[in-house]
Amino acid sequence: MRAVVQRVLSASVSVGGEVVGAIDEPGLLVYLGITHDDGDAEVAWMARKVRDLRILRDEQAASDVGAPVLVVSQFTLYGDARKGRRPSWTAAAPGEVSEPLYEAVCAELERLGTRVERGVFGAMMEVSSVNDGPFTVLLER
């Protein structure tokens, strides 16, 4: 499981011109990619890591200040462009595997007390954000 986590002042995701998820205060924008062998252990680890990562202002975590998290599915995080001109997506788990795990990460964040907004799994999404810093980290388990 991989996540690109950005500290943002605000962020939103739209599908077909309609906003489906948004945070309008400082928080985290998380692009989440899932590979074939991910499971419950990766779900739990990723949710806790995102929630407790001290990357907000004054080295605070989302759990410290109740910051919201916008989670967007992103299979392209497992793209491999080392050869040729077209990335290979073979390391990305198919939708029937990755969608339940994406939903499980979101649900685990919520269970831990985090306000979660979501994109729409598998949809063509438009993501807008105002990065804070900018500050971006890559998480991988």
The whole-number pLDDT of residue 41 equals 98
Q: Which of 6, 35, 60, 76 is catalytic?
A: 76
Q: Which of 60, 75, 90, 121 is catalytic?
A: 75
Q: pLDDT, tens digit, for every residue of 15-61? A: 999 999 999 999 999 999 999 999 999 999 999 999 999 999 999 99
Helices (H) and strands (E) in the chain, counts: 3, 6
DSSP one-letter code for 78: G
The DSSP H or E segment spanning 127 is strand 126-140
- Catalytic, 74? Answer yes
82: which 2 tokens? Answer: 């080392």
Q: What is the DSSP string of 103-120?
A: HHHHHHHHHTT--EEE--
Its pTM stands at: 0.96
pLDDT band for position 7 (cuts 50, 70, 90): very high
In the chain, the domains with their CATH numbers are 2-140 (3.50.80.10)
The whole-number pLDDT of residue 9 equals 98
Q: Which of 35, 74, 90, 114 is catalytic?
A: 74
Q: pLDDT, tens digit, for every residue of 103-129? A: 999 999 999 999 999 999 999 999 999
DSSP one-letter code for 75: G
